[in-house]
Chains A and B, each alone.
Chain A
Amino acid sequence: MNIINGMFGKKKDVSLGLYGAPNAGKTTLANKICVDWLGEPLGAVSEVPHETRVVQKKEKVNMHVNGRKLSMNLLDMPGIATKVDYKEFLRYGIKKDEARARAKEATKGIIEAIKWLENVDAALVVMDSTQDPYTQVNITILGNLEARNIPVILVANKTDLPGANVEKIKEAFPQYRLVALSAKKGDNIEQLYRIIS
């Protein structure tokens, strides 16, 4: 990654994918970026896992940081998981038929997110700082991005929550550049913008 020219090098029109497990805070972060630079959010946020079940795209997110302009297509990916059980949705008061449909959509969303791994110029891999980061989903996402030489920034999200442990993410993946932030509160978001641009 060329640090002098941000994560995209000299490119000025690029696609940035937000990857991670369900409920890591990808859509909250995508919304924060879109509100800051476009004045409008990207998608709905929910405590129910797999709320984002299709790739959500916002084109021409124009970022101006440190005298550099960058035009991005922001891609908020469905959370990647190795299992989807419709019964999990029942716990949130969702009815059985709707839960089954939601589970089916979630599996399709995961496949779509996986296919997009080949088509992004750079990626933010979002992790929930209160959870164990060394999961197969995170390992698989990072391994595939690395195999394609796609620049990556790790986002240690939810630093506003008690139990957030950014050090654990650093220890698990020491080879990556990391930004610790709270997408919900906006804490330290400027550092992310500086690194991206």
Chain B
Amino acid sequence: MANIKMEFVSSKALSSMESSARVKYLLSVIRKGYIIVLEEKLDPNEERLLIEKTMQIVDSKFTGIEISSLGMQTESWKNAIIKLLGGKTSGLTVIGPAKLIKTIKNDQEKINLMAGLKGD
């Protein structure tokens, strides 16, 4: 049975990064085959940026990502103020390579994920 690699990331770990750097970091980890559990919800702009940057690197080997999140959608400027004041934004995000995540389902209170290597 193939091993599934996961990385649990605290919101503090990414707090000093700007949106583009956060997205770059997340994608670099995902491309190494990790499923990331992030201790916060990305803001709408970061989600948009993540999809955009993902699409720029999609090819026959890396087919994209699966992503799901819990928590209230918070605007970027509110997130920035919360982080500036040393606070934590609430929420949770699970992201991983599309080839690894078979199903991901979100009922707004919990996320169910099934992972495994998909057959070619």
Contacts and interface: CB of A to CB of B under 8 A. Distances in A.
Interface stretch (A10-18, A136-144, A154-162, A183-191): A136-144
Nearest to A148: B44
Majority secondary structure, A binding face: helix
Nearest to A147: B44
Contacts of A80: 51
A143 B69 CA distance: 13
Given A136-B68, A144-B45, A82 B51 contact: yes
A114 B48 CA distance: 7
Contacts, number: 75
B70 to A, nearest CB: 11
Interface stretch (A28-36, A83-91, A122-130): A83-91
Interface stretch (B4-12, B31-39, B82-90, B102-110): B102-110
Interface in B45-67: 45, 47-48, 51-52, 54-56, 58, 60, 63-67
A111 B55 contact: yes
A54 interface: no
B4 to A, nearest CB: 18
A-side interface size class: 20 to 34
A134 interface: yes
Contacts of A146: 44, 73
Given A110-B52, A139-B73, 10 more contacts: A82-B66, A83-B58, A84-B58, A84-B64, A107-B55, A107-B56, A111-B52, A140-B44, A144-B45, A146-B73
